[in-house]
């Protein structure tokens, strides 16, 4: 199990494939293995070396239950890239992972060759702040929801109506969500970072080639907020994928992988 000691923590990562490196960063509560079902095979087939990691807060990486900042997580990725000697490299992030990626592109452009920002935003609106605060309050109350109920709520938040109306697909998704581990203290710490400060003005200073991928049915990071990020970053490309919710890279991986690989191998890569 590859582990590197960075910024006072133990950071777990995995590698696959050969070629130019791509670092992939997951969102709140998710480990790097989520990428391995669809995105890692697509990128390795395209000739890339793919590095996935478990963010600070997600075991076997240090949980850091005392809490941490977004900049701590940015620093973790920067130190991993430096440790592996792969900078500047391509970086892909989704949700919280996209927040990390765009902040890394801003503060350490020497480490980032291209950035793909999936399901991102550059500010927190009223509804997204309320959702985050409600989830934190539920965790802090020590409430244990019935597993099936929690799975249904997660599905409603994370998937598109197209998937929700597909009985066969939903049976699989609900089974998967029921098997997911309960949130731990590290995930609780990550939740605090979902209330992102207003950063759109700062992102006008990003000079790294960026692609923003948004999902038309995303409740957690709606497409109009992702569009704001693309509009703020000079020269950023924007792709809106229909029929997908927050987990669009799992709902329609073929489309997501196609647009991502085309960006990573296209004119912006040269």
Active site residues: 95, 218, 246
> 67 burial class (0-12, 13-18, 19+ CB within 10 angstroms)?
middle
Taking the CA atoms of 264, 261, 253 and 31 in sequence, report the sign of the dihedral they define.
negative
3-state secondary structure of 48: strand
Q: Give the C-alpha separation, 49 to 152, whole Å.
A: 36
Give kind and range of the element (H or E) at residue 212: strand 210-215
Q: Are 242 and 216 in contact (CB under 8 A)?
A: yes
3-state secondary structure of 165: coil
The rounded Cα 106 to chain-centroid distance in angstroms is 17
Which token pair is 268?
Answer: 């912006």
CA distances from 237 to 128, 177, 270 (A): 24, 32, 15
Q: Are 90 and 114 in contact (CB under 8 A)?
A: yes
With tokens 């391509």, the residue in question is 90
Give kind and range of the element (H or E) at residue 237: strand 237-241
β-pair partners for 21: 49
């Amino acid at each position: 199990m590859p582990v590197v000691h960075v910024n006072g923590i133990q950071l777990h990562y995995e590698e696959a494939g050969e070629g130019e490196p791509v670092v992939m960063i997951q969102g709140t509560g998710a480990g790097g293995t989520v990428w391995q079902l669809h995105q890692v095979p697509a990128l390795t087939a395209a000739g890339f070396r793919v590095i996935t990691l478990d963010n600070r807060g997600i075991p076997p990486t240090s949980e850091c239950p005392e809490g941490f900042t977004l900049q701590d997580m940015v620093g973790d990725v920067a130190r991993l890239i430096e440790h592996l000697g792969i900078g500047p490299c391509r970086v892909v992030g989704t949700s919280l992972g996209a927040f990390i990626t765009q902040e890394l592109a801003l503060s350490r452009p020497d480490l980032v060759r291209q950035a793909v920002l999936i399901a991102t935003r550059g500010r927190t609106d009223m509804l997204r702040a309320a959702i985050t605060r409600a989830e934190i309050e539920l965790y802090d109350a020590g409430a244990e929801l019935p597993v099936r109920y929690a799975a249904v709520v997660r599905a409603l938040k994370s998937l598109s109506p197209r998937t929700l109306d597909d009985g066969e697909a939903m049976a699989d998704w609900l089974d998967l969500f029921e098997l997911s581990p309960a949130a731990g203290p590290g995930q609780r710490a990550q939740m605090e970072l979902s209330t992102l400060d207003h950063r759109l003005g700062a992102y006008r200073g990003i000079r790294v080639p960026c692609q923003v991928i948004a999902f038309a049915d995303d409740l957690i990071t709606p497409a109009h907020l992702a569009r704001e990020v693309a509009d703020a970053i000079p020269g950023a490309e924007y792709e809106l994928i229909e029929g997908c919710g927050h987990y669009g890279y799992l709902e329609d991986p073929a489309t997501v992988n196609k647009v991502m690989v085309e960006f990573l191998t296209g004119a912006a890569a040269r």
